[in-house]
């Protein structure tokens, strides 16, 4: 798999990374440890060198899983993790106080069985802590060698600029896909200006763009999508038009919907690195196959016309979670 550079701080990663949250958290029951280890190692064998986790995925169990799985080839991979919640629990208040950032770093290093965090993200902007203090705390950890690169997640343009002025930001992680294109308005131009990479999470629309989810699909009681307005039965029915168009494009290119959705993201800029997640080996193989799907100018123009003709229905977050986005 080809590599890409995130930001101007020299962070080289595989063109497609792997979002690891779903192995432990968010999308129904966690996979068993052996299955998770096997899948993560299979990703590495297929060229993935960029793995994304967070202390709150579990909490804590996802980092422990990565620590075990990636240990045999630790020096050949890039591990990204995150800080930002009280007690590492995403259901609790935000907390990005400098002392908390340092405590998270020390604990994450142990769980990940490593001596450095390659990319350390602020998970969500904390309105109670000046961004300069957050960036300064990570800058100190970088100076000590415990962290290599600084990232932000779901931050707004103002926060990105304030952070970058203190410690160069290597990457912004935000949702971006064919069915969530909001970053194109302000965020992408700002990243291009400042030389910051973009790491799109949910690049397959939390599974919807694969075509495997229909209006009749039911989710496990612990699945986050039960709370997402865009995944209501009526909205899934309304949004099926996008999946249909994606299927037509995929058929012409002799690829799958997921591969087209990922190839489209890769084609938007050379500093974009999507991190699709999965718990299934065949989906992993499908996703990594997207790195070799080439969309030409004509393909991209046709996709643009198709997307412009579709209105996606439903909010991407419930109101209480949307409050934590941007800033």
Q: What is the distance between the alpha carbons of residues 109 and 175, in angstroms, rounded to a whole number? A: 26
Q: What is the distance between the alpha carbons of residues 7 and 271, in angstroms, rounded to a whole number? A: 7
Buried b (16+ CB within 10 A) or exposed e, 50-60: bbbbbbbbbbb
Q: What is the distance between the alpha carbons of residues 33 and 68, in angstroms, rounded to a whole number? A: 9
Residue 32 CB neighbour total at 10 angstroms: 10
Residues 217-241 have a mean pLDDT of 94
Q: What is the pLDDT of residue 19?
A: 98
Average pLDDT, the chain: 97
Q: Which of 304, 325, 305, 327 is nearest to 316 (CA)?
A: 325
Q: What is the distance between the alpha carbons of residues 301 and 312, in angstroms, rounded to a whole number? A: 19
Q: What is the pLDDT of residue 88?
A: 97
Backbone φ and ψ for 239, nearest 5 degrees, come out as -85, 0
Q: What is the distance between the alpha carbons of residues 256 and 293, in angstroms, rounded to a whole number? A: 10
Structure tokens belonging to residue 132: 């300069």
Question: What CATH fold (topology level) applies to the domain 3-322?
Answer: TIM Barrel (3.20.20)
Sign of CA dihedral 35, 68, 6, 312: positive
Q: What is the pLDDT of residue 78?
A: 98
Q: What is the distance between the alpha carbons of residues 100 and 65, in angstroms, rounded to a whole number? A: 23
pTM of the predicted model as reported, rounded to 2 decimal places: 0.97
Q: 198 pLDDT band (50/70/90 cuts)? A: very high
Q: In residues, how long is the chain? A: 327
Q: What is the pLDDT of residue 138?
A: 98
Secondary element (H or E) of residue 254: none
**How deeply is 2 buried, as exposed, middle or buried, from its count of CB atoms within 10 A (0-12, 13-18, 19+)?**
exposed
Q: What is the pLDDT of residue 311?
A: 93
What pLDDT, in 10s, does the model give residues 126-156? 999 999 999 999 999 999 999 999 999 999 9
Asked if residues 7 and 168 have their Cβ atoms less than 8 Å apart, the reply is yes
Q: What is the distance between the alpha carbons of residues 261 and 247, in angstroms, rounded to a whole number? A: 10
**Among the options 27, 57, 121, 176, which is catalytic?**
57
Residue spans of the domains in the chain: they are 3-322
Helix residue ranges, H only, the chain: 33-45, 61-70, 98-111, 131-143, 157-166, 187-194, 233-253, 257-268, 281-289, 297-308, 319-322
Q: What is the pLDDT of residue 153?
A: 98
120 - beta bridge partners? 81, 150
Q: What is the distance between the alpha carbons of residues 123 and 229, in angstroms, rounded to a whole number? A: 22
Q: What is the distance between the alpha carbons of residues 264 and 302, in angstroms, rounded to a whole number? A: 11
What pLDDT, in 10s, does the model give residues 3-16? 999 999 999 999 99
Q: 322 pLDDT band (50/70/90 cuts)? A: very high
**57 is annotated as an active-site residue:** yes
Residues 50-74 have a mean pLDDT of 98
């Amino acid at each position: 798999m080809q590599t890409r550079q995130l930001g101007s701080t020299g962070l080289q990663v595989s063109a497609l990374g792997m979002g690891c949250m779903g192995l432990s958290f968010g999308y129904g029951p966690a996979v068993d440890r052996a299955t998770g280890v096997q899948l993560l190692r299979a990703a590495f064998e297929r060229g993935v060198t960029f793995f994304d986790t967070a202390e709150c995925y579990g909490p804590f169990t996802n980092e422990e899983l990565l620590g075990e799985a990636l240990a045999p080839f630790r020096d050949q991979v890039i591990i990204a993790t995150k800080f930002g919640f009280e007690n590492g629990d995403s259901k609790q208040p935000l907390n990005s106080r400098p002392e908390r950032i340092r405590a998270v770093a020390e604990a994450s290093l142990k769980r990940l069985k490593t001596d450095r965090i390659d990319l350390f993200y602020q998970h969500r902007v904390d309105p109670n802590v000046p961004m300069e203090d957050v960036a300064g705390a990570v800058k100190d950890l970088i100076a000590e060698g415990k962290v290599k690169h600084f990232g932000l997640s779901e931050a707004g343009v103002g926060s990105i600029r304030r952070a970058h002025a203190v410690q160069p930001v290597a990457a912004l992680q935000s949702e971006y896909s064919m069915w969530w294109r909001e970053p194109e308005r302000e965020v992408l131009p700002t990243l291009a200006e400042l030389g910051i990479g973009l790491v799109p999470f949910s690049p397959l629309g939390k599974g919807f763009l694969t075509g495997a989810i229909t209006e009749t699909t039911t989710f496990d009681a612990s699945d986050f999508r039960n709370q997402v307005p865009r995944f209501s039965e009526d909205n899934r029915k309304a949004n099926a038009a996008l999946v249909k168009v994606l299927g037509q494009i995929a058929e012409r290119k002799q690829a799958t919907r997921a591969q087209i959705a990922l190839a489209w993201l890769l084609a938007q800029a050379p500093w974009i690195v999507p991190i699709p997640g999965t718990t299934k080996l065949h989906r992993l193989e499908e996703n990594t196959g997207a790195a070799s799907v080439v969309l030409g100018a004509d393909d991209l123009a046709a996709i643009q016309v198709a997307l412009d003709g579709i209105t996606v229905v439903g909010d991407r977050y419930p109101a209480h979670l949307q409050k934590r986005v941007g800033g």
